């Protein structure tokens, strides 16, 4: 196939050059040139994709009842908003080794006539993985990196679902740059997107999270795809959290919890119980009730406050927002007179979960106070509430759900903004 004319375009100002330039001669930005296809239309296209543009009246359009494709993994379906929408392009991103290939292989095995496109691993390697999950299972595998060949294969094979592992390994001959570069990743994703919308086959793209550099991170892709799922977790910890950060067909704050085992990722049906299983009642430990999508979750927050040896003490959070942590420490210093100016503060959310909700504020504060005073928070206590700059507690949404979950797990002392108005009051009730 003749190569299409490609051109390097500055992403800052749009300057075009036939060759790669480290610095844009027009706007002087460095490393901003990305290779793009100059003329579209001669590459492989599914017949009928080039249709006449038409203006339509919305009222004449019939509502399509999306028949979502269900997998056997309930946690996975929930994160997507109730299954896979046909004709959606879904990006699954995560650090190398976190379990993306494992999870998607499991999904492919639950759906008849799924196609696994392996750009990184050989069919033999995929077989090893499949044998761990479900020995001798059937799975159609295509070992290919040329996106145009892949598109043609999908068009003839007509699978119900396609998994592309990974988007960074694909390339198109239309561009000269190497696989994994911003231009290649973007162009390949665009081609796949056109196919998805035309054939109504859902496609999953695996994308590695990479540092800034020559290899394009999934950030480039977020605008092209319909759904972005990220698989998170710490390598040392077996929990894996699947979160949707963009979803054109569902909620974005839903999480699915899995545990990496010998036979693949196992669903965790009652995460609160598991997260709290190893909790010990010691100074610095607090339990909060957070909402992920529609589901309430109880998680443990741990804090460690120790005398610093640095001129400016550390406030380090893992699983919580660092800016929020700084703010809460400042509130504790000012409103409760806690002398934290010469103390390092470390806060950790157990289980590898990341919390974005202000509803966890009160729990974070109490964990810090508890560690600083070396006193244990009273037993069976759950803390819920946003903390304001004046040290007051502010109400949070869906308090009833959180209380129900806490009661279900046997927590009887539930501190919420409806029964306690300030942090100082909460301290009196929970730390003696």
Contacting positions for Mg ion (CB under 5 A): 101
Q: Please choose which of ligand TYD, Mg ion, none residue 73 contacts, taking the beta carbon within 5 to 8 angstroms, the exact cut-off set by kind.
A: none
Please state the closest distance from residue 182 (CB atom) to Mg ion, in A: 21
Residue 385, annotated as binding a ligand:
no
Residue 98, annotated as binding a ligand:
yes
Distance of alpha carbon 430 from alpha carbon 80, whole angstroms: 39
Q: Please choose which of ligand TYD, Mg ion, none residue 273 contacts, taking the beta carbon within 5 to 8 angstroms, the exact cut-off set by kind.
A: none
State both tokens at 85. Answer: 């929408």
Q: Which residue's CB is nearer to ligand TYD, number 106 or number 172?
A: 106
Q: Which residue's CB is nearer to ligand TYD, number 174 or number 232?
A: 232
Please state the closest distance from residue 239 (CB atom) to ligand TYD, in A: 13
**Nearest in space to 209 (alpha carbons), one of 167, 253, 161, 164:** 167
Residue 337, annotated as binding a ligand:
no
The three-state secondary structure class of 394 is: strand
Give, rounded to a whole angstrom, the gap between the first and last alpha carbons of the chain.
77
Contact between 121 and 258 under an 8 Å Cβ cutoff? The reply is no
Q: How many helices (H) and strands (E) does the chain have?
A: 10, 20
Which residue's CB atom is positioned nearest to Mg ion? 101
The three-state secondary structure class of 260 is: strand
Residue 417, annotated as binding a ligand:
no
Please state the closest distance from residue 119 (CB atom) to ligand TYD, in A: 12
Residue 364, annotated as binding a ligand:
no
Cα dist. 158→71, 177, 241 in Å? 19, 30, 31
Please state the closest distance from residue 273 (CB atom) to ligand TYD, in A: 22
Please state the closest distance from residue 134 (CB atom) to Mg ion, in A: 18
Q: What's the full length of the chain, in residues?
A: 432
DSSP 282-294: -TTEEEEEEEETT
Q: Which residue's CB is nearer to ligand TYD, number 9 or number 92?
A: 92
Q: Which residue's CB is nearer to ligand TYD, number 133 or number 140?
A: 133
Residue 23, annotated as binding a ligand:
no
Residue 368, annotated as binding a ligand:
no
- Mark 1-35 as b/e (b = at least 16 C-beta within 10 Å): eeebebbbbbeeeebeeeeeeeebeeeeeeebbbb
Please state the closest distance from residue 104 (CB atom) to Mg ion, in A: 8
Please state the closest distance from residue 92 (CB atom) to Mg ion, in A: 10
Q: Which residue's CB is nearer to ligand TYD, number 264 or number 358?
A: 264
Contact residues for ligand TYD, defined by CB under 6 A: 94, 96-102, 129, 132-133, 260, 262-264
Q: Please choose which of ligand TYD, Mg ion, none residue 353 contacts, taking the beta carbon within 5 to 8 angstroms, the exact cut-off set by kind.
A: none
Q: Which residue's CB is nearer to ligand TYD, number 233 or number 271?
A: 233
Q: Please choose which of Mg ion, ligand TYD, none residue 319 contacts, taking the beta carbon within 5 to 8 angstroms, the exact cut-off set by kind.
A: none
Distance of alpha carbon 193 from alpha carbon 181, whole angstroms: 18
**Nearest in space to 193 (alpha carbons), one of 139, 248, 118:** 248
In degrees rounded to 5, what are phi and psi of residue 26?
-90, -50
Residue 100, annotated as binding a ligand:
yes
Binding residue positions for ATP = 94-101
Binding residue positions = 94-101
């Amino acid at each position: 196939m003749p190569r299409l004319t490609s051109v390097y375009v500055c992403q800052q100002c749009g300057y075009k050059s036939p060759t790669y330039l480290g610095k844009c001669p027009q706007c002087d930005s460095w490393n901003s040139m990305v290779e793009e296809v100059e003329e579209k239309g001669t590459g492989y296209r599914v017949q009928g994709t080039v249709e006449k543009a038409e203006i339509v009246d919305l009222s004449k359009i019939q509502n399509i009842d999306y028949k979502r494709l269900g997998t056997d993994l309930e946690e996975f379906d929930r994160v997507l908003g109730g299954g896979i929408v046909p004709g959606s392009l879904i990006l699954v991103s995560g650090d190398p080794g976190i379990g993306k290939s494992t999870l998607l292989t499991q999904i492919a095995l639950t759906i008849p006539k799924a196609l696994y496109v392996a750009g990184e691993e050989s069919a033999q390697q995929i077989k090893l993985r499949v044998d761990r999950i479900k020995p001798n299972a059937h799975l159609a595998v295509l070992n290919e990196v040329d996106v145009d060949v892949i598109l043609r294969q999908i068009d003839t094979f007509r699978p119900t679902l396609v998994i592309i592992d990974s988007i960074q390994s694909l390339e198109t001959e239309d561009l000269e740059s190497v696989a994994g570069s911003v231009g290649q990743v973007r162009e390949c994703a665009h081609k796949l997107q056109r196919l998805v919308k035309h054939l109504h086959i859902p496609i999953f793209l695996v994308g590695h999270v990479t540092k800034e550099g020559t290899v394009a991170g999934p950030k480039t892709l977020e605008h092209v795809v319909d759904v972005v799922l990220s698989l998170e977790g710490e390598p040392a910890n077996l929990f894996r959290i699947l979160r949707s950060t963009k979803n054109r067909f569902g909620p974005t704050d839903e999480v699915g919890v899995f545990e990496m085992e010998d036979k693949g990722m196992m669903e965790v049906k009652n995460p609160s119980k598991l997260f709290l299983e190893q909790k010990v009642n010691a100074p610095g430990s607090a339990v909060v009730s957070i909402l992920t999508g529609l589901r309430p979750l109880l998680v443990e927050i741990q804090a460690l406050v120790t005398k610093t040896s640095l001129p400016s003490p550390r406030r380090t959070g893992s699983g919580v927002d660092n800016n929020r942590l700084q703010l809460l420490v400042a509130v504790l210093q000012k409103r409760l007179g806690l002398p934290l100016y010469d103390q390092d503060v470390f806060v950790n959310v157990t289980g590898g979960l990341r919390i974005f909700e202000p509803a966890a504020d009160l729990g974070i504060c109490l964990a810090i106070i508890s560690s600083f005073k070396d006193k244990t928070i009273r037993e069976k206590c759950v803390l819920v509430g946003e903390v304001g700059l004046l040290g007051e507690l502010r109400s949070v949404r869906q308090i009833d759900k959180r209380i129900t979950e806490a009661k279900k797990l046997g927590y009887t002392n539930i501190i919420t903004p409806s029964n306690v108005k300030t942090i100082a009051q909460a301290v009196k009730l929970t730390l003696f």
